[in-house]
Amino acid sequence: MGVASPRRRTPGQAAGSGTSWPGSLVERALALVAADYRRPTGPVVMAVALGIAAVLGGGKTAGPLRPDLAIALGLLATLPIAVIRRFPAAAIGVMLAASAVFVVFGRLSWSVAAVVGWLIAVAACPVMLPRRQAIWAIVAAEATVLLAPLGLGGNVTPWDASAAEALAVVAAWGAGEMLRARRQSAIEYAAAAEQVRYLSERDVVARERAGIARELHDVVAHHVSMIAVRAATAPFAIAGLPGPGQAAFAEIAEEARTALTELRVVLGVLRSPDGGSEAAPQPRIADLDQLLSRVASAGTDAELTTAGQVRPLPGSVELCCYRIVQEALTNAGRHAPASRVRVELCYQPDALSVRIGNGPPDRGTGSGQPRAGEHGPQAASGFGLTGLRERVAMLGGEFRAGPDGQGGFLVSAMLPALTAPGGDRA
């Protein structure tokens, strides 16, 4: 790989720039003006300075216009700079109109400060006005210059002066176009930098997600697979195992296989750049009956009631509802065995209410009854409910979990849920 030779600068070319020194000087002057206009007091200070100069110059100039009229027009040609950022169209229009009176009827009464204000107004047209308005403004300025040689009002104007003014209008317009292009380039550069930063962060997140997916696949999936295999082969390895024991091992094996299936879905979500997996279907509210059947076979008395008009909901809402019920049932079976769990779903016009409460079991269930309040704090510990709270927050809903005051534990959520477009539940 060769080494690039440094570029040679031609005489008169600015260091670190691709333009010659006059162009570099103009760019620096425009940058200074732009920086001045970004400060809140910049236009005001400039307008006051030019206004004072216009008053002093208008009173001394001997021209066809009366001194008081020359001073008034000079102020109109300079003072609107103070509000040019807030009212650009009105300010530029007043400045150009006042200067047009000078150009057509009294060039000799036109002070230097008013000329500077005229050039600033012309340069500000492409920067601050819409394209159509800016073009009409430059056309009007040039037409005014062409009317000057007609000698209206005793205003004798040589052709060379009109030509110089026409060139000055073009130069001021070009300066404004250059400033507009620089600002647009800065905006596009900032947008490109933001896009690069976003892509870089997304790449880092993707790498982290891939690393987590590898860890889950290599560690967790391996152990869950071993649980499924050992549970499936245990009835054949243990001689004389009674029927309930075989059923328990079969249920453990089935749950392990279900866990592996859901783990593969999670791995697909982690590996997907968009954070989603379209290959595997996600659990829905319709799958709650199957979930309650599984926990009932494990000894938990679970009951599901539904209120309101049942309708298809967005897939994210249905998945969140399923996970809330799943986690609440898991906590109830782990920390309050033999308790009775009530799952209530209420379809509202613009929301879905989910309530899962567990309390003491029915009378006569024996010693499996938990003591009052025993399962509340334990169920609230860990990361399960924290994850549910984050899920609900992502959907803009409300989540609560805590003791119900009657010896049980209550998990509730309010999920914003409009009808899924086209009835799509996925």
Distances (CA, A) of 110 to 65, 72, 78, 147, 160: 9, 11, 12, 16, 17
Please check the confidence at residue 247 and state whether its pLDDT lies above 80.
Answer: yes
pLDDT in tens, 53-66: 888 877 565 667 78
Residue 400 falls inside a structural domain: yes
Q: Which residue has 């003006």 as its token pair?
A: 33
Residue 207 located in a structural domain: no
Domain edge (last residue) among 157, 190, 215: 157
User: Is residue 75 in a domain?
Assistant: yes
For 47, 102, 163, 165, 169, the CA distances from 144, given in Å and listed in that order, are: 24, 10, 12, 10, 11
Domain contains 231? no
DSSP secondary structure string for all residues of 301-328: EEEEEEEE------HHHHHHHHHHHHHH
- Strand order from edge to edge, sheet including 409-416: 301-308, 340-348, 351-359, 409-416, 398-403
Give the pLDDT confidence of 4-43 residue by residue, as tens digits. 444 444 444 444 444 455 555 555 655 555 555 555 677 7
Please, are residues 190 and 219 in contact by the beta-carbon 8 Å criterion? no
Query: For position 84, what pLDDT does the model report?
Result: 83
Q: What does the DSSP 8-state code read for residue 401?
A: E
The mean pLDDT of 329-334, rounded to a whole number, is: 80
Total domains in the fold of the chain: 2
Q: Tell me the residue ranges of DSSP E strands in 336-386.
A: 340-348, 351-359
Work out whether the CA dihedral 60, 65, 71, 74 comes out positive or negative.
negative
- Which structural domain, as residue segments, surrounds residue 412? 284-426
Tell me, what CATH number does 288's domain have? 3.30.565.10
Residue ending a domain, choose from 157, 183, 198:
157
Q: How confident is the model at residue 88 (pLDDT cuts 50, 70, 90)?
A: confident
What confidence score (pLDDT) does residue 230 get?
Answer: 80
56: tokens are 């002093």
DSSP 8-state code for residue 1: -
What is the C-alpha separation between 30 and 27, in angstroms, rounded?
A: 5
Higher pLDDT, 29 or 115: 115
Same domain, 289 and 153: no
> For strand 409-416 and strand 301-308, is the pairing parallel, antiparallel, or unpaired?
unpaired
Last residue of a domain, one of 125, 157, 189: 157
Domain for residue 230, yes or no? no
